[in-house]
């Protein structure tokens, strides 16, 4: 089905994989794991045929479904309905449109020729699974959390989160032989995640998934590929079993390395002593030197653990008591209003969590407040001395063709030494500062966007799903840093661990715009909203 042999992959001139080989057969459920930036997304793009390897071969048999980290519909499909977009995964949308056009022709001219054309089109539609396909597509959309009344709307009026779910649904509906999924649970609530896990467990073909969602990895996979230091290591079993095996491997390699280093040191010392003695012993010393060389050639490499992840936000500049006031905000995208009459106020050092089901307008509200889109009614104003930093979940501020350092220079006039110090705090070290920002992994783009916010020295942060794509250590470190920061924050998040650390004082329930005080009992609703 899918076979990689001696695969080599480079990103911006940097090798991320060398000599990678593995097979994916029917029924295999494989999790690809590793830290942010090690090359997981690049590997999936090569396997999907969207990028070329620097070396090696990828063999594919059967159909392939690929969902990138940030799936977006083809611009040409933006006016199609969400249902048609899912049906296009099997080409049923085109068959349905032809059938509808022929039906209209038949009503105007019920000739024998037109009846024959309609009958042939209907048979083709039926053979393609058209009649059952629509119900299957609606079931998949519902499982992924798209409301039934929104599935028939054009894609252009749906929220970004809904469009991503539709793109995931399209690939699942296609029933491909091999599924390649890059962080498929991003933007999904708890119920949608549980539905997806069940779907993936029942998938009869092969599955290779990149995810930081540990529940998904533990319940839906049977094998793990660990990518680190340009190498792939395979582990059998669930993610929990992999973690145990990985710890044992690290302990074994560390013990072996200690023994090898001790033996090398002993032989070197002995050779140095013999070199200063008789000629015969000097020859023996040369023999010992060769043994040391052979040992060094076979010496195991112990992967050094990276430094503990720790982020720090600079103290916020002083602002007035009222940081943000919004009155009568409303938004629609050519269809029914997403929300109307939203009022709220933020005071200095307050924490406000925006909650609501998918499509309730959370991201739309944040984009209005960040000045990225306009409101259809009402307005808002920032308080005295307010400096606003905005994190967009779609990384829309990160431009392909510009370096990481260029993006940092956009935020402040500080010198590059300061910029690189901030980047280093977020794990973007060395030559990566000069790398095309468009070639970064999803996790690295998140870290760059967060580094830009830190460099900007703001006192109001508007954050839209800031922990998506982050590996667990980085996610925890960011939550801790934000919890300790004394500035004002307005955030959207499905991550209950992040919200618990964030500790909001109030919530804004969308689309109704209801203001309420935060209660710990609401934590159970975070992953659902």
Residue 170 lies in a domain: no
Do 417 and 292 lie in one domain? The reply is no
Q: Which domain holds residue 266?
A: 251-298
Do 469 and 408 lie in one domain? The reply is yes
Residue 375 lies in a domain: yes
Tokens linked to 440: 């970064």
Q: How confident is the model at residue 99 (pLDDT cuts 50, 70, 90)?
A: confident
Residue 448 lies in a domain: yes
Do 368 and 441 lie in one domain? The reply is yes
Do 436 and 488 lie in one domain? The reply is yes
Total-model pTM: 0.70
- Report whether pLDDT(397) > 60: yes
Tokens linked to 56: 């090696």
Please count the other Cβ atoms lying within 10 Å of the Cβ belonging to residue 499: 25
Do 425 and 458 lie in one domain? The reply is yes
Tokens linked to 403: 């370096």
The bridge status of strand 64-67 relative to strand 178-182 is: parallel
- Report whether pLDDT(464) > 80: yes
* Mean pLDDT of the 353-376 span: 91
Q: How confident is the model at residue 341 (pLDDT cuts 50, 70, 90)?
A: very high
Residue 377 lies in a domain: yes
Residue 86 lies in a domain: no
- The H-or-E segment that residue 511 falls in is none
Please count the other Cβ atoms lying within 10 Å of the Cβ belonging to residue 319: 22
CATH number, position 356: 3.40.50.300
Q: How many structural domains does the chain have?
A: 2
Do 335 and 415 lie in one domain? The reply is yes
Do 392 and 338 lie in one domain? The reply is yes
The bridge status of strand 488-492 relative to strand 460-464 is: parallel
Do 467 and 397 lie in one domain? The reply is yes
Do 361 and 288 lie in one domain? The reply is no
Q: Which of 33-37, 94-98, 108-112, 463-467 has the highest mean pLDDT?
A: 463-467
Residue 139 lies in a domain: no
Q: What's the pLDDT score for residue 267?
A: 81
Lowest-confidence pick of 241-250, 348-357, 514-523: 241-250
Do 260 and 386 lie in one domain? The reply is no
What is the torsion angle, in degrees rounded to the nearest 10, for the CA atoms of residue 275, residue 278, residue 284 and residue 285?
0
- Distance between CA 222 and CA 94 in Å, rounded? 37
The answer to whether 400 and 435 are in contact (CB under 8 A) is no
Q: What's the pLDDT score for residue 188?
A: 82
Residue 36 lies in a domain: no
* Mean pLDDT of the 425-447 span: 86
- Report whether pLDDT(354) > 70: yes
Which of 282, 298, 314 delimits the end of a domain? 298
Do 294 and 326 lie in one domain? The reply is no
Q: What's the pLDDT score for residue 177?
A: 93
Residue 460 lies in a domain: yes
Do 353 and 450 lie in one domain? The reply is yes
Q: Tokens 């699974």: give the residue.
A: 129
Q: What's the pLDDT score for residue 303?
A: 56
């Amino acid at each position: 089905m899918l076979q990689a042999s001696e695969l080599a992959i480079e990103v911006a001139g940097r090798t991320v994989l060398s000599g990678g080989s593995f097979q994916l057969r029917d029924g295999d459920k494989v999790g690809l794991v590793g830290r942010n930036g090690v090359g997981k997304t690049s590997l999936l793009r090569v396997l999907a045929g969207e990028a070329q390897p620097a070396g090696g071969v990828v063999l594919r048999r059967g159909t392939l479904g690929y969902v990138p980290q940030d799936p977006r519909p083809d611009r040409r499909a933006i006016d199609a309905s969400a249902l048609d977009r899912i049906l296009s995964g099997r080409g049923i949308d085109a068959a349905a449109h032809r059938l509808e056009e022929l039906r209209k022709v038949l009503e105007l001219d019920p000739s024998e020729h037109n009846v024959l054309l309609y009958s042939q089109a209907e048979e083709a539609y039926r053979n393609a699974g058209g009649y059952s396909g629509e119900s299957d597509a609606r079931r998949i959309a519902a499982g992924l959390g798209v409301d039934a009344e929104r599935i028939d709307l054009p894609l252009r009026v749906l929220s970004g989160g809904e469009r991503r779910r539709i793109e995931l649904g399209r690939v699942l509906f296609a029933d491909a032989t091999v599924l390649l999924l890059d962080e498929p649970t991003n933007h999904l609530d708890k119920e949608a995640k549980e539905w997806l896990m069940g779907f993936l467990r029942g998938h009869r073909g092969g599955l290779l998934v990149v995810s930081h969602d540990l529940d998904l990895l533990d319940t839906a996979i049977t094998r793990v590929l660990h990518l680190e230091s340009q190498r792939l290591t395979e582990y059998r079993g669930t993610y929990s079993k992999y973690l145990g095996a990985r710890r044992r491997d690290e302990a074994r390699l560390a013990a072996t390395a200690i023994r090898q280093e001790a033996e090398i040191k002993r032989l070197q010392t002995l050779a140095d002593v013999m070199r200063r003695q008789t000629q015969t012993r000097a020859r023996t010393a040369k023999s010992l030197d060769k043994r040391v060389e052979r040992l060094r050639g076979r010496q195991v490499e112990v992967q050094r653990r990276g430094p503990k992840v720790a982020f720090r936000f600079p103290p916020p500049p002083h602002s007035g008591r009222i940081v943000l006031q919004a009155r009568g905000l409303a938004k629609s995208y050519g269809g029914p209003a997403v929300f109307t009459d939203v009022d709220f106020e933020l005071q200095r050092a307050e924490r406000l969590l925006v909650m609501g089901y998918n499509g309730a307008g959370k991201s739309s509200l944040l984009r209005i407040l960040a000045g990225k889109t306009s409101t259809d009614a009402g307005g808002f104003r920032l308080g005295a001395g307010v400096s606003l930093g905005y994190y967009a979940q779609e990384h829309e501020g990160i431009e392909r063709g510009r370096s990481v350092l260029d993006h940092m220079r956009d935020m402040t006039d500080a010198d590059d030494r300061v910029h690189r110090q901030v980047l280093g705090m977020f794990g973007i070290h060395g030559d990566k500062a000069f790398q095309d920002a468009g070639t970064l992994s999803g996790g690295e783009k998140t870290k760059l966007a967060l580094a830009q916010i830190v460099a900007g020295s703001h006192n109001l942060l508007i954050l839209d799903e800031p922990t998506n794509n982050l590996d667990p250590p980085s996610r925890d470190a960011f939550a801790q840093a934000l919890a300790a920061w004394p500035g004002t924050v307005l955030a959207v998040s499905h991550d209950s661990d992040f919200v618990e650390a964030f500790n909001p004082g109030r919530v804004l329930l969308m689309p109704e715009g209801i203001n309420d005080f935060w209660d710990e009992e609401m934590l159970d609703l975070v992953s659902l909203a």
